[in-house]
Structure formats: C-alpha cells, structure tokens
Amino acid sequence: MTNKVRVRFAPSPTGGLHLGGVRTVLFNYLFAKKHGGDFILRIEDTDQTRFVPGAEEYIIECLKWCGLTPDEGTEAGGEYGPYRQSERKDIYRKFANQLVSEGKAYYAFDTPEELEEKRAEIPNFQYGHSFRHQLRNSLTLPKDEVQRLLDEGTPYVIRINMPSNETISFTDLIRGFVSFDTTLVDDKVLLKADGMPTYHLAVVVDDFLMKITHAFRGEEWLPSAPVHLMLWKYLGWEDAMPQWAHLPLILKPDGNGKLSKRDGARLGFPVYAMNWADPSGGEVTPGFREMGFLPEAFINLLAMLGWNDGTDQEIFSIAELVEKFSLERVNHSGAKFDFEKAKWFNAEWIKKVNAEALQEDVLTLLTANNIKVSDSTKLVKIIGLVKDRCTLLTDFILQAGYFFKGPVSYDLDAVKPKWNVQKEDFFTVFISELEQLEHFATEEIEGLFKKLVADKGLKIGDVMLPFRVMLVGGKFGPAVFDIASLVGKEETISRIQKALEAFR
C-alpha cells in the first residue's frame, strides 16, 4: 500500500505560464518531495489548433528558474514515456474503442454546428441522459447505419455514456467529501474527430499508465471530476485511481473572478512567471523574473497564497516549505492576488540573501543598462550597502548604478533654492583638500569634510545634502562618505566639479 508518491504537472503548451500554474506545480513538487516521491512533467498538447511553438520550452525554462525541476518528463526522460500526449495518440484510441465495445462509450456523428443549434434553441441542452436519444449516434442509429457511416469515413467523436441516477463521490484531499448526481453530468467527448483524445480521456489514461498517486489541479476542474471518476471505473482501474486535490483559485485583486493576464496588464503587474513573447504577434507579456523578482520570493509568495503553517512565519525557503507543507493546511477558498504583498516578499528576500548571491543578477542588469562594472569585489560591497533599499532587482540600477557612473541629471529642487556662493566656495576648497588626502577612505573624508564645515562656519546639514546630490544625483542612497570612498578620489572630485557648474 506504500507505493511511491508520483505526482504530475500537465500543462498545455498554449502560451505563457500563469502564476496559478506555477502554484499548482509548487504544491505538486512540495508534496512529492515531502514524501520522497517523483514529480513528473507531462505535456498535454492534444489540441492541435491551440499549439504554440516555443511554449513547451518556455514552460520548462520557467520551472528551472523556479527551481522546481521535474524528476521525469519530456526532458528528464523516464520509463513511462512518451511524456507528450500527441505522441501517445494510439494509446488513447485503443481505450476509447474498448469503452465503445463495452457499451460505456458511443460514436456520435453530430456536427459541431448541429450541436450549437441545439444549444441555442433548447435552454438547458446538454449532450447526455436527457437528449442523447434524439441525436445522431450509435445509441440511436441502427447498427448497419453506424457501420456505413464509419466505413464512409464520416467524422465522428466518441462520447462517454454517463449512467443516470447514480451518485458519484470522492474525498478530495483538500475539501473533503464531494458528490455528484450522474444524471446531471453530460456525455463528454472522449475522442475528437481528429483522433486526438480530449483532456478527459487523456488525463485518466495517462495518470493510470504513469502510476500517478496524487492528482493536483485547480478548482476549475471540480465540475468535471465525475467524468474522470466514471472513466476510472469504466476502465476497471478504480483501485489505482489517484487521490484528488483541487486547489483554490487565485483571483483578481479587484472585482471578481479568476486572475488573468489581462488583469496584470490592466493593473500593472506580471501574471506570468517569465516574459512571454507571443510568436505570432510578437507582443510580450511581462513576467515576474524580468520584473525583478527573485525565484525564492516568487515561490514563497505563491506558497502563502492558500497555505500557511499555522504560525506567524511568512518567509520560507523551498527547503522549509518541503519540510512543513501539508495538504490539511491548504485553504478552501480562492485568494485575491495582492501585488503589494508580492513586492514585500521580494524585498524581504533581497534583504535575506547575501550580496554574493545577488552579484550575477545585478551585474547583468547594470550591464544591460550601459553601466560598466570593472571590479566585482567592489560590486559585492555596493550590493551589501544598498540591498536593504531595493524592493525589486531592477531597483539596483538606480541604487547601485551611480557608484559606477556619475549622475546625468540632478535633483536641483533639493539644492538650488538654498545654494549660494558660500557653499560653492566650501566645495572648491573641499576639492583642493581632497586632492591632498592620502588615505581616501570613509573616515578620512568625513573628518576632512567636518573640519572644513567648522572652519567655514557652516552647519553640516547645509552642505551634506548638496554633496550627496553631487555624487548620486538625488536624495537617496547610503551614507555619503561611504559613497565617496567607493567612488574614488578622482571621480569624487570630478563629480563635485561637474555639479558645481550645474548648481550655478
């Protein structure tokens, strides 16, 4: 009874990876790792009309970035392949045929147009118990007629024959006992006219063949659970059926409903894990990675959307999540996505992680913004100095950039109103004294600065802010003298000179 835990994430390669999808992956992964099991990636590409080139690679890349690498799947391989459903076409047909021959499914010849008409004219039309006998299928047509249609190559689908007046129920790992009346469930298509299975057939067949023990998916799948349950029963695999866990949805921050990528565009935050460039239109949908999120933070915030460990702890590493995760503590209701809180998680992680760990990302960012970094030791030092004031990785461009590149503009409003010849004079003298300074370090610069302030009869506050603006361009950043020492003697002097002209 102690079979190895096997879970799967089964996306369809139709575009970017939604944050809700990543959370499903995460919960799969956490559960698998917690129980020493395997995490499988299966590509559900049964809808050929929606296939998008590059989407599969993109999904794999997202999982890598998140650190949620599959143990088994299209890339990792494994003994239950192929892991792409389009390559398993024959398998599904075999089982569909088996169901037909056993009377558990049937051929249906109605065209999509005919069905659409029915739906338009009959209020609560559904292809099932109440209407299937008025339609063109192997239940209503004479046997030889069915054979003739088949022989002629008439397009058909295979539909499940749902029984009536049965109660079908199961215990969901998250929401407990759930039951349905089969009379109200329609005869879902199992095999499409193009010979591909629908999700309903494919998920059951593959979960069985791949020995999946626990099936996680979004709550939007709950209504089709009875079809899947019935299929497990019809196929005679009931004893091998995975335990179901329907995850709560991630909702729009405002208004109502499932979070969509449109909400992100409307409200100004990413919904996808990474940037997604649509291959046809070329339009790019922003992702958390490019927006400047750390994968640790992204994972952390997703985990907290629907789960908690019962304490006040909110910052968890992936290792801690694996250790503490439990399905009993997953919430039942949907959670509205809050981008402000998401940013807070990222800021916390930037503070938590050490400067070396940030080095590579920051270097890439600075370089991309035409800021040349020559000295990596210096960079690490700077990161350590400014990281507490960064919320997103992209904040490092502003917060660390001026250490390597002088300001191109100044916050003149902060300086000019109180600027005068006396202050200008102070800095002129300061420059010449700086030139004499042998040991150009924080304390020496500060000592010199303060001494000069006293000599000139000024207040330190009068020249401190101008000095900062000279070096940084604005009213931000760590201690001014630290900045000066890191920037170096020559550069400091040259920045003061430049600024002096701008301040005049």
Q: Using CB under 7 A, which residues numbered 89 to 128 contact RNA?
A: 110-112, 115, 119, 123-124, 126-127
- Of 388, 425, 443, 455, the residue at the interface with RNA (CB under 7 A) is 388
447 binds RNA (CB under 7 A): no
Cα Rg of the chain, angstroms: 32
Contact track, RNA, 182-201, x by CB under 7 A: --x-x--x--xxx-x-xx--
Query: β-strand 38-41 against 6-9: which pairing, if any?
Result: parallel
Question: Omega into 466 within 30° of 0, i.e. cis?
Answer: no
Query: β-strand 105-108 against 157-160: which pairing, if any?
Result: antiparallel
347-376 binders of RNA (CB under 7 A): 347, 351
Closest C-alpha among 152, 394, 438, 154 to residue 292: 394
- Of 57, 220, 356, 435, the residue at the interface with RNA (CB under 7 A) is 220
Question: Which residue in the list 34, 118, 233, 261 is annotated as catalytic?
Answer: 261
296-315 binders of RNA (CB under 7 A): 304-306, 308, 310, 312, 314
* Token reading at 175: 């929401």
Taking the complex as a whole, the smallest distance from the CB of residue 1 to RNA amounts, in Å, to 27
456 binds RNA (CB under 7 A): no
- Let me know the angle formed at the C-alpha of 253 by 248 and 257, rounded to the nearest 5 degrees: 55
Among 31-39, 339-347, 375-383, 425-433, which window interacts with RNA (CB under 7 A)?
Answer: 339-347
84 binds RNA (CB under 7 A): no
- Of 46, 137, 138, 485, the residue at the interface with RNA (CB under 7 A) is 46
Say which amino acid occupies 491.
E
- Of 76, 465, 493, 502, the residue at the interface with RNA (CB under 7 A) is 465
Nearer to RNA by Cβ, of 150 and 376: the residue is 150
- Of 5, 10, 327, 358, the residue at the interface with RNA (CB under 7 A) is 10
Residues linked to residue 105 through DSSP beta bridges, in sequence order: 160
Residues linked to residue 41 through DSSP beta bridges, in sequence order: 9, 73
Taking the complex as a whole, the smallest distance from the CB of residue 309 to RNA amounts, in Å, to 9
Taking the complex as a whole, the smallest distance from the CB of residue 461 to RNA amounts, in Å, to 4
Residue count, binding to RNA (CB under 7 A): 82
Taking the complex as a whole, the smallest distance from the CB of residue 318 to RNA amounts, in Å, to 18
Burial 457-482 (b: 16+ CB within 10 A, else e): eeeeebbebbbbbbbbbeeebbebbb
Q: Give the containing element (helix H, strand E) for 171.
A: strand 167-172
Give the C-alpha separation, 3 to 214, whole Å.
11
- Of 94, 262, 418, 475, the residue at the interface with RNA (CB under 7 A) is 475
142-181 binders of RNA (CB under 7 A): 155, 157, 175-176, 178-181
Q: Which phi and psi angles does 389 have, rounded to 5°?
A: -105, 20
Say which amino acid occupies 460.
I
Taking the complex as a whole, the smallest distance from the CB of residue 290 to RNA amounts, in Å, to 21
Does the annotation count 233 as an active-site position? no
Contacts of residue 21, defined as CB under 8 A and 6 or more positions apart, other chains included, come to 9, 11, 273
**How far from the centroid of its chain's Cα atoms is residue 84's Cα?**
22
Nearer to RNA by Cβ, of 4 and 341: the residue is 341
243 binds RNA (CB under 7 A): no
**How far from the centroid of its chain's Cα atoms is residue 161's Cα?**
38
251 binds RNA (CB under 7 A): yes
List residues with catalytic annotation: 261
